[in-house]
Chains A and B, each alone.
Chain A
């Protein structure tokens, strides 16, 4: 059973471009969470999704950021018109049931650099 997969591992974009980050949860996991880790800071919750539904997006900026978890395929975190402040490590985690009391499994992260 492969772990949580994220790709790409490193992504470089120029200001104004779009960034697409992919997350494939562990097999059998239908709950996906996205987090952002800015340099020298702790992780921050962004969004929680179940298959085809956004459960909680209270941590995600209202503009330029969107997330989806389609019925088939990986979860996608999309950042439009990137700015330098978007440079960070973006982690995805998955769990088999809602993570209120269950273990989350994290992916290796995608490191986004905006030039």
Chain B
């Protein structure tokens, strides 16, 4: 069964600090891995997309890494801001040849305190 596990479940950090969120998956065959940011009461917003051949992707202060051998990904947030407070969701898609069947993690809830 395809699974995506995220850790920690929740995280509290001070403004300006860095943090790293983890994602382990057992989805096969692997197509791509995405990280989303979801503010409370809103829809998810895409941060990064990585395919099998990519092992790092940056979007501003967000940097995602992918190790396809160990089936792990991380999302690193640099110099956190209050607006980074949100749920961060790891999504791994199954398939090849354009098929799209995603498995979502439960998310890491990040709270940034001033």
A residues neighboring B (CB under 8 Å)? 4, 33, 35, 41-45, 48, 56, 58, 91, 93, 98-109
Contacts and interface: CB of A to CB of B under 8 A. Distances in A.
Nearest to B102: A45
Nearest to B36: A106
Contacts of B104: 35, 42-45
Nearest to A104: B46
Most buried by B among A4, A42, A106: A42
Contacts, number: 56
A100 B42 contact: no
Interface string B80-91: 000000000101
Most B CB atoms within 10 A — which of A33, A104, A105, A106? A104
Interface of B: 4, 31-32, 41-46, 49, 51, 89, 91, 93, 95, 98-107
Contact of B51 (A42, A48, A101): A101
10 contacts: A56-B101, A93-B43, A98-B100, A99-B100, A101-B51, A103-B46, A104-B46, A105-B46, A108-B42, A109-B41
In order of increasing CB-CB distance, the 7 nearest A-B pairs are: A106-B43, A42-B104, A42-B106, A43-B104, A100-B98, A103-B46, A100-B100
Nearest to A55: B100
B32 A100 contact: yes
B43 A100 contact: no
A65 to B, nearest CB: 17
By CB atoms of chain B within 10 A, which of A4, A58, A100, A105 has the most? A100
